[in-house]
Amino acid sequence: MASILVTGCAGFIGSHLAERLLHDGHRVVGLDNFDPFYDRAHKQQNLTACLAHPRFSFHEADLRQGLDALVDALPADPIEVVVHLAAKAGVGPSVKDPIGYLENNVIGTTSLLEWMRHRDIGKLFFASSSSVYGNTPEQPFREDMNLLAACISPYAASKLSGEQLTYTYHHLYGLGVLNARFFTVYGPRQRPDLAIHKFVRLLQSGQPIPVFGDGTTARDYTFVLDTVDGIARGVEYLLLHTGVYETINLGNNRPVSLLQLIAAVGEAVGVEPQLEFQPMQAGDVDITYADISKARQLLGYAPQTPLPEGLRAFVQWLETVPTEHL
């Protein structure tokens, strides 16, 4: 049993991960600042199972407040691995608020790294994003691609900056790091601002679905429990290795076009979608497509959930959520 710190533990992916790590026998220290990007009650509901578990402790703090705030907020107990999920997420909102994204995702990450150095914690799983690949023409996306001029949104730039920071701390202080680029994670507890969540609610209320562009843009949709399995495997990898530095893709290796997704969501809901075509949104990429061979080789990562099955699970979960939490 290891002691794992999960930042962003009340969020969509973080809450699922905390439950998985507890199930695997670990002690989980959860950290979240309840960013008002969406309803706090939604995030508190995410934590229900964890808060009832004897090996889980929760601490509310904001990484942007710096080292002293983290020292005050977090227990002095030993921590073997940090899983850093906390971030302001989303390409579109980052275009409107680049400073907020850089403060949270770059300054906040630096504060966490400094706290880890202060505490002599030597292993980090860092959640990056497929957005760092931008509109890279070569597909599928490989971890060794040159991304110097790839990012086309502040969110993407903040995530690539985070990866560069983790390398700096690896080089200077010997920090063991596993960077994981997530690819369009969906499923129960998904944030209300994300496409699948919006599409289901629009269909259920009889409204048309906005289609940005011509509908041919594609995403590598990955079910949340498949992503979480990759993270849990990454934690085990870090526990077994010291001083490593690796970057992996955690995707599904199966891009789905926007029109295909909308049709699949319609089938899951049982409603024929009505489409409303609109211009492309600033910062959006044409496609995300993960080469997952490295994650398979290092971790045994192998996503299992077909899109229709994952969408049905999401729709079933959404039916249980009180309207005021959406």
Statement: residue 326 has pLDDT above 80: no
Sorted by sequence, the CB contacts under 8 Å of residue 22 that are 6+ apart come out as: 28, 50, 53, 55, 56
210-235 burial code (b ≥16 CB/10 A, e <16)? ebbeeeebbbbbbbbbbbbbbbbbbb
Residue 323: pLDDT band with limits 50, 70, 90: low
In whole numbers, what is the pLDDT of the chain averaged over residues? 95
Q: Report d(CA 76, CA 94) in Å as an integer.
A: 34
Residue of 101, 133, 155, 237 marked catalytic:
155
Nearest to 6 by CA among 28, 25, 34: 28
Q: What is the dihedral of CA 107, 109, 113, 118, to 10 degrees?
A: 60
The stretch 269-278 carries a mean pLDDT of 95
pLDDT of residue 324: 57
Q: Is 0.85 surpassed by the pTM of this model?
A: yes
Q: Tens of pLDDT along 225-239?
A: 999 999 999 999 999
Domain that holds residue 23: 3-183+223-251+291-305
pLDDT of residue 149: 85
210 lies in a domain? no
Nearest to 249 by CA among 299, 291, 187, 285: 291
Residue 242: pLDDT band with limits 50, 70, 90: very high
Residue 102 · residue 154 · CB < 8 Å: yes
Residue 193: pLDDT band with limits 50, 70, 90: confident
Residue 219: pLDDT band with limits 50, 70, 90: very high
| Residue 170 token pair | 């690896």
Statement: residue 295 has pLDDT above 70: yes
The β-bridge partners of 177 are 124, 245
Residue 75: pLDDT band with limits 50, 70, 90: confident
Statement: residue 120 has pLDDT above 90: yes
315 lies in a domain? no
pLDDT of residue 38: 82
> What phi and psi values does residue 29 have, to the nearest 5 degrees?
-105, 115
295 lies in a domain? yes
208 lies in a domain? no
34 lies in a domain? yes
Query: CATH number for the domain including 103?
Result: 3.40.50.720
73 lies in a domain? yes
The stretch 127-154 carries a mean pLDDT of 95
- Spell out where the chain has E strands: 3-7, 27-32, 56-60, 81-84, 123-129, 176-182, 185-186, 209-212, 218-219, 222-223, 245-250, 256-257, 275-278
Q: How many domains, the chain?
A: 1
pLDDT of residue 85: 98
43 lies in a domain? yes
Q: Confirm whether 155 is a catalytic residue.
A: yes
Statement: residue 305 has pLDDT above 80: yes
Residue 151: pLDDT band with limits 50, 70, 90: very high
User: What's the number of CA atoms in the CB half-sphere (13 Å) around residue 319?
Assistant: 9
112 lies in a domain? yes
